[in-house]
Amino acid sequence: MFLSDERLESIWDDAGRPTIHGAVSRLFLGRGDVVEPAVEVVGDNIGLVVGDLSLSRFEDDLSRAWPECADGQERAFRVMSAFARVAQMAAQAHRAEVVLVDVGPNLGALNRAALIGSDYVVVPLGADLFSLQGLRNMGPTLQDWRRQWSERLLRNPAADLPLPAGRMQPIGYVVMRHSVRLDRPARAFSRWIERIPAQYREHVLGAPAPEPARVEDDPNCLARLKDYRSLMPMAHEARKPMFLLRPADGAFGGHQQAVRECYGDFDRLSREILDRCDLGLLMPAASP
């Protein structure tokens, strides 16, 4: 979503593959190790290592590498740490202080390899049955990955190979795109939202349910983001965040008030995430 269709097409058609795939492919194909990735500069303070659907070809290799790490095989550790090492290369080259890793909603081998390179995890949740079921699956799986990776680290045969700690610490959840009436979620969404605090605490944190179990009072809730309705398609068309839409993008009249509210919501969410990651000093003052 950072790039135009034309730019994305040119990147994917490039024989050099200036994407995350290009940075790790030599390792997976047995021709060397990871290389420094190409970074698309998309703003003054943000760069992008472009994703690539071709990574799916490496899923089997990543699946095999996980048990092979338990056997102390060096190449397996290089494969499992590939995404983490590429992220560190990009961060060092561009003096980035934070790396954001976006993964899809599944518990496959690709996501496992990406997540073991992450210190913290933020869980986006829809106000629906599928998100609740996802919590029941994700929480125990994340705990298993964390424990298993810490055991595997003790078997790394290459002392000079930098490996991620695999902390994967959950710092909270975000309730996404629920409809609001008079500052309260519509009844159809409330029935699911009310169950989130207990489910998150039990399945992700492995702790007893809070009392009272209300999202509004739950310290694990980072934010509740509304369904911003017409701002979303405008943002897709303009290729920019909803909270930066301008009249030239079609956001005029009442839409500008919605844009300001959206900016405030995401500003508070960003600050909360940084505070919980002990990075609060990185956040600049809010714009008016």
Domains of the chain with CATH codes: 1-118 (3.40.50.300), 119-158+166-227 (no CATH), 234-279 (no CATH)
Distance CA 191, CA 39 (A): 43
pLDDT confidence bin for 193, thresholds 50/70/90? confident
Q: Which two tokens stand for residue 69?
A: 């790490």
Task: Point out which residues pair with 125 in neighbouring strands.
Answer: 175
Task: Point out which residues pair with 14 in neighbouring strands.
Answer: none
Q: Which two tokens stand for residue 124?
A: 């986006």
Percent of the chain at pLDDT exceeding 70: 91
pLDDT confidence bin for 287, thresholds 50/70/90? low
Backbone φ and ψ of 15, nearest 5°:
-60, -30
Query: What pLDDT sits at residue 245?
Result: 94
Q: Give per-residue pLDDT as tens, 75-114.
A: 999 999 999 999 999 999 999 999 999 998 889 999 999 9
**Residue whose pair of structure tokens reads 């003096």 in the numeric block:** 95
**Running DSSP on this structure, what letter comes out for residue 213?**
-
Q: Give per-residue pLDDT as tens, 217-266.
A: 899 999 999 888 789 999 988 888 999 999 999 988 888 999 999 999 99
Backbone φ and ψ of 150, nearest 5°:
-65, -35
Determine the average pLDDT of the residues in 163-177. 93
Mean pLDDT, the chain, rounded, equals: 89
Whether residue 212 is preceded by a cis peptide bond, meaning omega within 30 degrees of 0, is yes
Residue 88 in 3-state DSSP? helix
Distance CA 269, CA 246 (A): 21
The answer for residues whose C-beta is within 8 angstroms of residue 265's C-beta and 6 or more apart is 223, 225, 226, 243
Spatial contact of 175 and 193, defined as CB atoms under 8 Å apart: yes
Q: Give per-residue pLDDT as tens, 126-135.
A: 888 888 899 9
Residue 138 in 3-state DSSP? helix
